[in-house]
Structure 1
Amino acid sequence: MALPSTIYKTSIQLSDIDRGVYESLQATVAKHPSETDERLVARLLAWAIFHEPELSFTRGLCVGEEPDLWVKGPDGRVRFWVEVGLPESDRIIKASRHAEKVALLACGRALANWDQQHLPRLTGLPNLTVVSLDQAFITTLAARLERSITWSVTITEGTVYLEVDGVTHETGIRIKTGVLL
């Protein structure tokens, strides 16, 4: 019998000063049994960093052909495709052909190797933004993960400040290709 997903209630106060975005984000997010806490944290961070009004979580790991987050137009076409992790470059190239905008929050323990192997193939895609965050930042947040998540996220001058339970954590956003959307 398959293990059930774990449900997380999420509330994020987002102040993206760089883009002039100030929102209260609420979502119920399912963590697939094979998903790590670090990956869930990365998905939530991508939701905040690339926030647009209609950006929503997909079925993710359950459906291999969907991104982690997306904005779909009224005609059903994907307008904004957001990946998290270290996907194959072919997957990102294919997404860039089908979506108006594509973003990748590149993160994981093998990020340096992924950069060398895949980033050169992606640098020429005009509708792609690749950013990364320090893995230690993600790991620290994952260690504090609870089923009810309440974060205050401030993004300014290329730095993410995330307050949880009265403690503020910070890391820089490294833009690897494109510009921060």
Structure 2
Amino acid sequence: MALGATMHTFAVQLADVDRGVYEELTLRLARHPSETAVYMMTRLLAYCLEYEEGIVFSEGISSTEEPAVLVRDLTGKITVWIEIGAPDAPRLHYASKLADRTTIYTHRDPEKVRAAWVGKRIHDSASITMHSFDHGFIDDAVGSIDRRNTMTLSVTERQLYLDLNGTMYSSAVHDHTVEAS
């Protein structure tokens, strides 16, 4: 018998001073058995840091047609394609042609992620941004994840302050260019 997804609930107080976004969110994340806690945490942070009208989690790693997080306009068109981890060049090429904006949030070494794209064709790679966090930040934060979670996330001047179930974490959000070709 195949294992099912584990459901995690996050009551999030989001204060993104940089973008002027202040929201209270209740998010339910299904963690697929093959999905790591680190990937799930990165997916959650990407959702919060990109939060806007129309943002949703996709089917996750079981969906090959959509990214982990995306934003749709009222017509259903994907306007923002948000990848998690280390997407390959053909996927970024496709995403950049399809969506108005493509961005990546990675929990991996950004230089190693970028190295895989060298010499590969990625449509409009100069407009794609990759975001990463301080070394160890995601790994430390996943130690506080439960099935039901309370989370306060504050962002100011690209500095992220996370209170997850009463434990505080902090990291800068680092921005990197893709520039594959």
Q: Contact between 2:86 and 2:113, CA under 8 Å: does it hold in 1?
A: yes
Question: How far off is 1:129 after superposition?
Answer: 2.2
Question: How far off is 1:145 after superposition?
Answer: 0.9
Question: How far off is 1:126 after superposition?
Answer: 5.0
Distance (Å, rounded) in 2 between the aligned partners of 1:99 and 1:43: 19
Equivalent residue letter for 1:129: T
Question: How far off is 1:103 after superposition?
Answer: 1.3
Distance (Å, rounded) in 1 between the aligned partners of 2:171 and 2:83: 20
Distance (Å, rounded) in 1 between the aligned partners of 2:9 and 2:167: 20
User: Once superposed, what is the RMSD of the aligned Cα atoms?
Assistant: 2.0
Q: 1:117 to 1:19 in 2, by over 3 A?
A: same
Distance (Å, rounded) in 1 between the aligned partners of 2:173 and 2:82: 16
Q: 1:120 to 1:46 in 2, by over 3 A?
A: farther
SS in 1 for 2:65: coil
SS in 1 for 2:114: helix
Q: 1:135 to 1:34 in 2, by over 3 A?
A: farther
Deviations 1:5-35 (A, max 9, x none): 0001111111111111111121111000100
SS in 2 for 1:15: strand
Tell me what 1:130 maps to.
130
Tell me the number of residue pairs that the alignment of Structure 1 and Structure 2 aligns.
177
- Listed as ranges, the matches of 1:17-166 within 5 Å are 17-108=17-108, 110-118=109-117, 124-125=124-125, 127-166=127-166
Q: 1:163 to 1:69 in 2, by over 3 A?
A: same
Distance (Å, rounded) in 2 between the aligned partners of 1:171 and 1:62: 30
Distance (Å, rounded) in 2 between the aligned partners of 1:75 and 1:176: 31
Q: Contact between 2:94 and 2:123, CA under 8 Å: does it hold in 1?
A: no
Gaps of 5+ in 2: none
TM score, norm. by length of structure 1: 0.89
Q: 1:139 to 1:123 in 2, by over 3 A?
A: farther
Q: Stretches of 4+ moved more than 4 A in 1?
A: 119-124
Gaps of 5+ in 1: none
TM score, norm. by length of structure 2: 0.89
SS in 2 for 1:79: strand
Question: How far off is 1:130 after superposition?
Answer: 1.4
Distance (Å, rounded) in 1 between the aligned partners of 2:119 and 2:53: 31
Question: How far off is 1:85 after superposition?
Answer: 0.4
SS in 2 for 1:34: coil
